[in-house]
Amino acid sequence: MGLSTVICIGMAGSGKTTFMQRLNSHLRASPDHKNPYVINLDPAVLKVPYGANIDIRDSIKYKKVMENYRLGPNGAIVTSLNLFATKIDQVIGLVEKKNDAYDHCIVDTPGQIECFVWSASGSIITESFASTFPTVIAYIVDTPRNSSPTTFMSNMLYACSILYKTKLPMIIVFNKTDVKKADFAFEWMKDFESFQEAIRNDQELNGDLGMGSGYMSSLINSMSLMLEEFYSQLDMCGVSSFTGDGFDEFLDIIDKKVDEYNDFYKIERERIIKEKELKEQARKDQSLNGLMKDLGLEDKKANNGNTDDSADVVSDLEEGENDGLVDRDEDEGIEREYTFPGEDRLEGEVNDRTAPDLQKKYQEAFEQTSKQASSETAENIARYIRQ
């Protein structure tokens, strides 16, 4: 089995870094597993309590990003990730070389979850891993803090949005079980009635001031079906990053999720990528056809074999046909200054339908321009980021 990636995501303070530290030491101590390859993507963390093979802080100085770009803490995290994302191919290349030496590549993400999950660079980084290795999301939850049913549901909705956004297998990891066991959460996820009961109790306990009051409880009730569907796609486990409890189970679930990735998610992802490519090709063909049509160069076959030049092209209009279109201005005789590069044209000629290779030339020019445009765009983005 080759290397698989585990990306740790979770709300601020849920214990991602401590979880990473424990997972790292657990894997190192286990005779059944190889040491993990560890990546830190949190540019703002002061101290990384595990030895990282790749650390975003080595290449990007968070404080400098804040100063140079005059950004606040979150803006600086996003910008640091943007800068890092420009190098992601190199990072993936490095990890790929370790494919045989490691079983797991574990990735820590910034404390501010939205900076990673909802940023373009977060998506690029996740996508890059997911398209190269089987990739699983470990969504870390602070169990004691989620014992209120409404806080729990908000957290689950967040996890749900990540699942649907990344389209990757997900494990919900209830952390800090040394403080509070996660049984209540498993129960709520398996049996929606028990969750509704918890909301009713919360309401009774806290009255109208309680989070479970009125509007919230009816919102939660109406979301029950959606949440049930979401829970059915997940695996969950309870761990304590302090004591190491539950980590064996977590690793078993990772193996299961990697199989799931290979059997289902990979095929689904490839289908989606293929579909996108086809759509993109269709869009390009359409704009090329539009261009050809505008130039009066559409395929003759498209005219049902009618070789008569019946399509309205600029040259036709010049004849002064009464076609209801706008008449030319008085500057009729003035030759247009623009022309198509490399085209040998006769004076005043607008469309030369007799040139047999013209369509081919336009096709080449179109492809050339779109290639040039995309590399120019990439260069512009890189220049902008460097500035």
Please list, residue by residue across 69-108, b when 16 or more beta carbons sit within 10 angstroms of its beta carbon and e when fewer do. Answer: eebeeeebbbbbbbbbbeebeebbeebeeeeeebbbbbbb
- Of 5 and 241, the one with the shorter C-beta distance to ligand GTP is 241
Q: Find the shortest distance in angstroms from Cβ 173 to ligand GTP.
A: 10
Pick 115 or 292: Cβ nearer ligand GTP = 115
Minimum CB–partner distance for residue 62 and ligand GTP (Å): 13
Q: How far is residue 95's CA from residue 296's CA, in Å, rounded to a whole number?
A: 52
Cβ proximity to ligand GTP: between 47 and 383 the closer is 47
State the Cα angle at 292 between 287 and 298, rounded to 5°. Answer: 120
For ligand GTP, the closer CB: 18 or 86: 18
Helix (H) or strand (E) holding 273: helix 266-294
Shortest approach of ligand GTP to residue 44 CB, angstroms? 8
- Tell me how far, at minimum, the Cβ of 11 lies from ligand GTP, in Å: 7
Q: Which residue is nearest to ligand GTP (CB)?
A: 111
Closer CB to ligand GTP, 102 or 139, in the complex:
139
Contact indicator for 177, 245 with CB cutoff of 8 Å: yes
Count of beta carbons in the 10 Å neighbourhood of residue 42: 25
CA 264 from chain center: how many Å?
Answer: 18
Query: Of 111 and 149, which CB lies nearer to ligand GTP in the complex structure?
Result: 111
Residues that bind ligand GTP (CB under 6 A): 10, 12-18, 42, 111, 175-176, 178-179, 240-242
Half-sphere exposure of 83 (CA within 13 A, CB side): 23
Minimum distance from CB of 366 to ligand GTP (Å)? 48
Buried b / exposed e across 265-286, counting CB within 10 Å, b at 16+?
beeebeeeeeeeeeeeeeeeee
Provide, rounded to whole angstroms, the least separation between the CB of residue 31 and ligand GTP. 24
Can you state the angle between helices 149-166 and 224-232, rounded to 10 degrees?
60
DSSP letter at 143 equals T
What does the alpha-carbon distance between residue 103 and residue 287 come to, in Å, rounded to a whole number? 46
Q: Which amino acid is at 171?
A: I
Name which of 30, 13, 164 is nearest 104 in CA terms.
Answer: 30
Q: Which is nearer to ligand GTP, 179 or 302 (CB)?
A: 179
> Whose Cβ is closer to ligand GTP: residue 144's or residue 296's?
144
Closest separation between CB of residue 75 and ligand GTP, Å? 17
- Distance of closest approach, residue 35 Cβ to ligand GTP, in angstroms: 21
